[in-house]
Structure 1
Amino acid sequence: MTWWEALLLGLVQGITEFVPVSSSGHLVLSQHLLGLGAEESDITFEVFVHFGTVLSIFTVYGQEVADLLAEAWAGLRHPTLVPERYRENDTFRLGVFILITLIPTGLVYVLFKTQLEQAFGSPRFTSAMLLVTGVLLLLTLLRPQPEGMLSPIKSFVVGVAQSAAMIPGISRSGSTICTALYQNVRPERAANFSFLMLLPVVLGATLLKGLELAEQGLTTEWVPLFIGTVAAYVSGIAAIYIVIDFVRRGNLQYFAYYCFLVGGLGLWLL
């Protein structure tokens, strides 16, 4: 992998991890256009660019993450007070909601891991799923001013949406934010919840890939790794703020038009 390929793929990962246009879908299409077949895709590079997106979440939501960890530790130290903390503490309640989203996500990954991995070999299928993402984003126009809060049931449904986003071309941020909005969750809360619930998922995926990397050994030069990681980190921070602004103003339909364009071109040309 050359430095400019690493820069491009790092930017694609960082931007599309948070912008609701499917990071997995864009990586599949980008690798296809760059001539990087599945046998050439480097797990080492994937580990490092995912680490870059983790750092971007910590940078933007550092205080929120620290508060969540503090509340989790307090709950573990005093388990008898968990019901009271759930009722009275918004941060503790948010942490519970994030844990709830992991239930359907983990089940789908365990049950359908092989099928999901096979889907990454088809650029045309990925393009078709981008059209599905576009429809999900466009439907937010039917819920113009949501004003509600999260709940355990709403969180579980958002977790189901996150599970569907394991399919390349289905945007994780798009499906989770849209699903929260459909359930009348306030826009900014929906976006923040989507990004915070991503953290354990990305950390888990990075850990699994890191274990594979430990078995295989380092197979990529350090310069492309560094360039890709920094590109994913910087672009990820920018993408988070951009998406929050779009969600707050109720303008997710513009990302839908982009998904329709890329998905349509993919079906036509690939």
Structure 2
Amino acid sequence: MDLLQIFILAALQGLTEFLPISSSAHLILAPLVLDYADQGFAFDVAVHVGSLLAVISYFRHEVISISRDFFKSLFNRYATTPESRLGWMIIVATIPVGLFGLLMKSLIEGELRSPLVIAITTIGFGIVLLVFDKIGKHSRDEYSITWRDALIIGLFQAVAIIPGTSRSGSTMSAGLMLGLTREAASRFSFLLAIPTILMSGGLVTLELISSDASADWNSLLLGTALSFITAYLCIHYFLRFIERIGMTPFVLYRLILGVAILIFFLP
């Protein structure tokens, strides 16, 4: 891989993992548009590790307090705190995507990676995001999420294993539908990314180990670093401005991207 390809793919992963515009769609389409060879399992793992490190680093204080209080609550049910409850909600919301991912893995990696599927989901779930952003009450924070809310958000996240849907976009849509503020829906979506990326990255890592594929460590380390930087900046500025700008700019981008895919990639 040359430096330009590493930069483009790593930056795409770092930016699109947390914006509601689908990282999988961009990583699938980028090699087609730019005529690049497939980047391979190893690079996919590297850029996902960069995104994971970015979200953990950005929310390091929340991660520490949630983890600490969660483990305390395991041994003392009277030690429940808002942070421990949030930890439980993250676990509940993670379960559906783990089950769906295992059951539909071959389908996701095959037929569902087509430009037609990506175009339909990009447009369709963009409209879903816009509707819930407009009708949502925007009155709750992430600490008010209930077991039922967590399960609903988790089911939305499970649907997002279909390329083009966007994991962050679907979970934010669910949060907005349930009355969360834009920032609260985004923060829960970003925290939810930690166990989700750990699971998906773990599966890809196991496949990489079993495949005996060679690795270009310089490219992998550079991809990880670039993905970390772009993802960290993306999270910071998204949370800073989302209440002010709303979801409409991202919806418009999705609609334009979906139409462009239909025009340029389909006969």
TM superposition score normalised by structure 1: 0.91
Pairing of 1:258-269 with structure 2 (within 5 A) = 258-269=253-264
SS of corresponding position for 1:18: coil
Matched residue, 1:131: 123
Please list the CA deviations of residues 5-32 of structure 1 after superposition, one character each: whole Å capped at 9, or x if unmatched.
1110000000000011000011111122
How many Å separate the matches in 2 of 1:119 and 1:196? 30
8 Å Cα contact 1:7/1:224 also seen in 2: no
- 1:48 and 2:40 equivalent? no
Give unpaired runs (5+ residues) of structure 2: none
- 1:181 and 2:173 equivalent? no
- 1:101 and 2:99 equivalent? no
How many Å separate the matches in 1 of 2:205 and 2:29? 24
8 Å Cα contact 2:66/2:84 also seen in 1: yes
| 1:97 Cα offset (Å) | 0.4
1:217 pairs with one of 201, 209, 212: 212
| 1:120 Cα offset (Å) | 4.9
Taking structure 1 as reference, are residues 179 and 250 closer, same or farther at Cα in structure 2, changes over 3 Å only? Answer: farther
Please list the CA deviations of residues 166-204 of structure 1 after superposition, one character each: whole Å capped at 9, or x if unmatched.
010001111101111111123222111110011001011
| 1:70 Cα offset (Å) | 1.1
SS of corresponding position for 1:64: helix
| 1:66 Cα offset (Å) | 1.0
How many Å separate the matches in 2 of 1:180 and 1:114? 29
Number of positions where the alignment pairs a residue of Structure 1 with one of Structure 2: 262
SS of corresponding position for 1:146: coil
Point out the more displaced range, 184-193 or 53-62: 184-193
Taking structure 1 as reference, are residues 157 and 233 closer, same or farther at Cα in structure 2, changes over 3 Å only? Answer: same
Matched residue, 2:10: 10
Q: Which residue type is aligned with residue 24 of structure 2? A: S
How many Å separate the matches in 2 of 1:139 and 1:244? 20
Give unpaired runs (5+ residues) of structure 1: none
Q: Which residue type is aligned with residue 158 of structure 2? A: S
SS of corresponding position for 2:20: coil
Pairing of 1:68-217 with structure 2 (within 5 A) = 68-76=66-74, 78=75, 81-82=76-77, 84-86=78-80, 89-143=81-135, 145-148=137-140, 149-217=144-212
Q: Which residue type is aligned with residue 44 of structure 1? A: A
| 1:52 Cα offset (Å) | 0.2
CA RMSD of superposed structures (Å): 1.7
Taking structure 1 as reference, are residues 213 and 141 closer, same or farther at Cα in structure 2, changes over 3 Å only? Answer: closer
Please list the CA deviations of residues 47-80 of structure 1 after superposition, one character each: whole Å capped at 9, or x if unmatched.
110000011011110111111221232233x1xx
8 Å Cα contact 1:101/1:158 also seen in 2: yes
How many Å separate the matches in 1 of 2:217 and 2:95? 36
The percent of aligned pairs where both chains have the same amino acid is: 29
Please list the CA deviations of residues 201-226 of structure 1 after superposition, one character each: whole Å capped at 9, or x if unmatched.
10111112112222233523223212
Structure 1 runs (4+) deviating above 4 angstroms are none
SS of corresponding position for 1:249: helix
SS of corresponding position for 2:104: helix
SS of corresponding position for 2:107: helix
TM superposition score normalised by structure 2: 0.92
How many Å separate the matches in 1 of 2:79 and 2:240? 31
Matched residue, 1:24: 24
Q: Which residue type is aligned with residue 85 of structure 1? A: A
How many Å separate the matches in 2 of 1:267 and 1:150? 38
How many Å separate the matches in 1 of 2:111 and 2:49? 24
